[in-house]
Amino acid sequence: MNTLLLEAHHGVLHITLNRPECRNAMSLEMVNELRTVLAGLDSQIRALVITGVGGHFCAGADVKDMLHAGDQLQALNRAFGTLLQQVEALPQVVIVVLQGAVLGGGFGLACVSDIAIADHQAQFGLPETRLGLLPAQIATFVVKRIGLTQARRLALTAARFDGVQAERLGVVHFVETDPQALAQRLDEVLGEVLKCAPGANGRTKALLLASVDEPLENVLDRGAQWFAEAFRGEEGIEGTQAFVQKRQPEWCK
């Protein structure tokens, strides 16, 4: 990988965006490398942690990359949307740790995470319209994250806001004031995630996402089917037996 640093241990894959010279701006190469990593995940990986090097998460799309895209510009832009769809649909829990620039595509990536932890001074925003451009691929995901009213305000003013405001808007779940506190919060969140059965987490996530777009009747019917399957499955049997026997289930060990 030329644009990513990867480290896996204890069922967690740490993905670090690694283009410090441009605040980890998203090039087509980075998009393709991320998609390759995600496509190769297996059931041994229960959570992903996405961060950036150099004190920044991601400053958005690489403008230089776009300037050289020529006739492929539309395909390049759509490729990032496909990446966001892929991240959102993962059965693994996706956690982002946000510092420095969280702009444009970086903001979009934060919006498809399951759990977001931010530094209080991180800078969020959708700067596209100030460049005469559109937040074409991230707009839908921003609306799903914070609602249409706030998304319209942020997109049509290109306003910048910090981690504290991001928490108020519902972009992030936790805000910390220093790197040590960020690391401690990440450890706490991962500890909680890894106490949950991975298969149950994956299907719960799919059910939650379906509830946004699908008819209620369909979601409830599928929920009942999946609940019955889970109860009779390996995780359900192990989890209920562990509860009765007052011990930790196998996936916690």
* Domains of the chain by residue range: 4-194, 197-252
Superfamily of 197-252 according to CATH: Lyase 2-enoyl-coa Hydratase, Chain  A, domain 2 (1.10.12.10)
On whether the CB atoms of residues 25 and 19 are closer than 8 A, the answer is: yes
Predicted local distance difference test score (pLDDT) of residue 64: 85
Q: Read off the pLDDT of each residue in 181-202 and give the average, rounded to a whole number.
A: 97
How many angstroms separate the most distant Cα atoms in the chain? 63
- Fold identical between 4-194 and 197-252? no
Does position 79 have pLDDT exceeding 90, yes or no? yes
Average pLDDT of the chain, as a whole number? 96
Strands (DSSP E) along the chain, which ranges? 4-9, 12-17, 47-52, 93-98, 101-103, 115-119, 123-125, 160-161, 174-176
C-alpha distances in Å from residue 33, one per residue of 1, 18, 29, 219: 7, 11, 6, 33
Using 50, 70 and 90 to split pLDDT, how confident is the model at 68? confident
User: For 4-194, which CATH class?
Assistant: alpha beta
What is the phi/psi pair of residue 4, to 5°?
-130, 150
Does position 2 have pLDDT exceeding 80, yes or no? yes
On whether the CB atoms of residues 50 and 118 are closer than 8 A, the answer is: no
For the stretch 228-242, pLDDT in tens is: 999 999 999 999 999
CB atoms near residue 170 (< 10 Å):
13
Using 50, 70 and 90 to split pLDDT, how confident is the model at 67? confident
Instruction: Name, in order, each residue with C-beta under 8 angstroms of 72's C-beta and a sequence gap of 6 or more.
Output: none
For the stretch 84-141, pLDDT in tens is: 999 999 999 999 999 999 999 999 999 999 999 999 999 999 999 999 999 999 999 9
For the stretch 12-55, pLDDT in tens is: 999 999 999 999 999 999 999 999 999 999 999 999 999 999 99
Q: Read off the pLDDT of each residue in 219-227 and give the average, rounded to a whole number.
A: 96
Does position 143 have pLDDT exceeding 90, yes or no? yes
Does position 253 have pLDDT exceeding 80, yes or no? no
Does position 70 have pLDDT exceeding 90, yes or no? no
Predicted TM-score (pTM) of the model is 0.95
Q: What percent of the chain has pLDDT over 70?
A: 100
Q: Read off the pLDDT of each residue in 177-190 and give the average, rounded to a whole number.
A: 97
Is the pLDDT higher at 72 or at 195? 195
